[in-house]
Amino acid sequence: MIDPYGRHITYLRVSVTDRCDFRCVYCMSESPEFLPKADVLTLEEIERVCAAFMRKGVERIRVTGGEPLVRRNVMSLFERVGGWLGAGGLKELTLTTNGSQLARFARTLRGAGVRRVNVSLDTRDPEKFRAITRWGDVSVVLRGIDAALEAGLQVKINTVALKGVNEDEILDLILWAHARGMDLTLIETMPMGGIDADRTEQYLPLSVLRARLTQRIHLENVDYQTGGPARYVRVAETGGRVGFITPLTHNFCESCNRVRLTCTGTLYMCLGQEDAADLRGPLRASSDDEMLDDAIEAAIARKPKGHDFMIDRRHSGPAVPRTMSMTGG
Ligand code: SAM
Ligand code: SF4
């Protein structure tokens, strides 16, 4: 699949649920309205969409949410899709998780063919962790990370930079991650969905953080690319990598190779734009995949050039009304 700007679409992110066992302050309000079950695709329907994308050239699938590991029976989806890994099939099946259920599922994930997982962790301080996630217990997540490493999964830590909250802890988190063989990626807050807080209060440009880090450690530019939006540097002192995802200070859309499926079967061609295609209708209208295939083709043909995110005093509202947990971060 090639979009109107000549980009090859080879990467699908699949949100399997909008629900979550945490309520991160930058992601959701404290009591979000979750979707009725009937609107959510069954695991079999999700598998059908994944298969259709694979036939059209998608090589990598990342399962996300909401919290993907709280969806009942989600391991069966990993096992089915994982069965397509290998020569001529899927190249990679990955997962983004908050880590709360990893201790339970790490081995099964590895058995299903998952090799890399991204775990979101903004702080190791129990009180701050509770304040950011509203409900979470950091010791459970840290045990989950240990279990993932023990199961032989490669773990990358994702950390959202939050002004006045974890900015003093970033170096410590990097050193901690690198000592365990984990890369760490820093993310700027993105203006997605209504939350209970003011985003201008949370937003910390990574350019500021990077300048601070360079006073303490040596950051060397490297070519390392994962096909994602992060730009990587190597920390000379540890040999580990730090990624920077800066949607607000740097536009990464030129090399975008991905589309996102929500748990209701809506396909977003861009994280930061409203246009979307309904795949649930064609999926449920017929058991053969012709309508589904046509809907996918039509959607790719109108993938937009890029997003228009902006956070400043005049733009503190969301750029798009849906939250990251709905679109699948
Ligand atoms: N629940 C899983 C997790 O937390 O990893 C997967 C879904 S979560 C929406 C995916 C990633 O999006 C997490 O790393 C989270 O920190 C990030 N995220 C959520 N809302 C965000 C926002 N408004 N700006 C930037 N990152 C956000
Ligand atoms: Fe849940 Fe992930 Fe959103 Fe936090 S960032 S509320 S863990 S979906």
First to last CA, the chain: 22
Ligand 2 pocket test: pick from 16, 18, 23, 24 the residue with the most ligand atoms within 8 Å of its Cβ.
24
Distance 170 CA to ligand 1 centre (A): 17
Residue 198 pLDDT exceeds 90: no
Cα separation, 179 vs 194, in Å, equals: 37
Kindly report, residue by residue over 117-167, the tens digit of the pLDDT. 999 999 999 999 999 999 999 999 999 999 999 999 999 999 999 999 999
Lowest mean pLDDT among 12-26, 102-116, 130-144, 268-282: 268-282
Q: Ligand 1 within 6 A of 162 CB?
A: no
Neighbours of 130 (CB within 10 A): 14
Q: Which residue's alpha carbon is nearest to atom 17 within ligand 1?
A: 329
Neighbours of 253 (CB within 10 A): 16
- Ligand 1 atom nearest residue 192's Cα: 23
Kindly report, residue by residue over 217-254, the tens digit of the pLDDT. 999 999 877 767 788 999 999 999 999 987 665 566 77
Q: Ligand 2 within 6 A of 178 CB?
A: no
Distance 88 CA to ligand 2 centre (A): 34
pLDDT at 313: 44
Domain made up of 11-327: CATH architecture: Alpha-Beta Barrel (3.20)
- Ligand 2 atom nearest residue 23's Cα: 6
On whether the CB atoms of residues 144 and 101 are closer than 8 A, the answer is yes
- Ligand 2 atom nearest residue 324's Cα: 3
- Sort strands 219-221 and 231-235 into parallel, antiparallel or unpaired: antiparallel
pTM of the prediction? 0.92
